[in-house]
Amino acid sequence: MRFVLPLFLIGVLATSFTDAAEVARRPNILVILADDLGYADVGFKGCKDIPTPHLDRLAASGVRCTNGYVTHSFCSPTRAALLTGRYQQRFGHENNPAWLPDDPKAGLPVTETTLPQVLKTAGYVTGCVGKWHLGAHPSQHPNRRGFDEYFGMLGGGHIYIPGGKGGAEYNIPLDRNGQQEEMKDYLTDTLAKEASAYIARHKAEPWFLYLAFNTPHTPLQTKGEYLARVKHIEDETRRNYAAMVVALDEAVGGVQKTLHDEGLEDNTLVWFFSDNGGPTGVTKANNSPLRGAKGQLFEGGVHVPFVVSWPAKLPKGKDDPRPVHSLDVFATAVALSGAKVPESHKPEGVNLIPYLSGEKKGDPHERLF
């Protein structure tokens, strides 16, 4: 018997080390969402007048899904689908909710399961930085929908500069885990710093971060250093919009640097896309060669720049023309993390990694809606 106990302990320790190693191999998951970005307004989609070196580097580090789609042509429904992995029509979320902080029904139904709730079953720490737009009632708060940490703006948009002009919803204080916080700096820069801090804070554990920028959504408010890089653009509206795209690019670059400095770059699965097409008539965004814009169901409304990067597993600098969409984020994250999805929840995406890595041939989807 005296030999049994040590062997048993060895078995327990071996199992523990195996579990720890398994957790360590699971990728961190970072979803970077732009807001109203034009299809042709990044360098990797052929843009010539707006410099986006950091986004181009991200695109070169992974797979460019040239037929990447979202499930709706404007803000909140797209986000609802992304975080639930289900078409927004399944639960009646086909419109932007009004700014009604006292209405528990004006947002993502609490009956829906979210990706962070699911990932927590696999030991992931979960964070959200940026635009929420899925309800302002306390029951809809990100901390109540699966996110351990939240910093950002609860509504559909926000001013970018302290003292800037915007509607009531755009002028509310920022929110940090349910507590109000005044904005002190250019908003896009602030969100990037918060994202980097989150990554550094949780570098020793598997994490999920939903980084939802509100740029280049209106109001077109920028700062001098970004405006200076696009001073060659004659049209004032497009010039201001372009400066906000530059700010987005710099923000993504800052987050990329943090991943590199913390040694997390290789094993972090990064998704980048826009919530919908650019509103060409409002911001002078460019959706060429696609027809239509934000709010429309032509290609220009739902066909977006779409990148999936995971240096440890996926090829670099590859174009993949097979149609994919934002619901695939949920399915892929579940497959890679080993998370448990409630039987009542029916996600509708596909794990893209076997397809993007070349392990599986054919189309990931028979049809998309």
Catalytic residues: 75, 133
Q: Which residues pair with 69 in a beta bridge?
A: 303, 325
SS (H, E, C) the chain: CCCHHHHHHHHHHHHHHHHHHHHHHCCEEEEEEECCCCCCCCHHHCCCCCCCHHHHHHHHCCEEECCEECCCCCHHHHHHHHHHCCCHHHHCCCCCCCCCCCCCCCECCCCCCCHHHHHHHHCCEEEEEEECCCECCHHHCHHHCCCCEEEEECCCCCCCCCCCCCCHHHCCCEEECCEEECCCCCHHHHHHHHHHHHHHHCCCCCEEEEEECCCCCCCCCCCHHHHHHHCCCCCHHHHHHHHHHHHHHHHHHHHHHHHHHCCCCCCEEEEEEECCCCCHHHHCCCCCCCCCCCCCCCHHHHECCEEEECCCCCCCCEEECCCEECCHHHHHHHHHHCCCCCCCCCCCCCCCHHHHHCCCCCCCCCCCC
Distance CA 37, CA 299 (A): 14
Distance CA 314, CA 202 (A): 24
* Phi, psi angle pair for 152, to nearest 5°: 160, -150
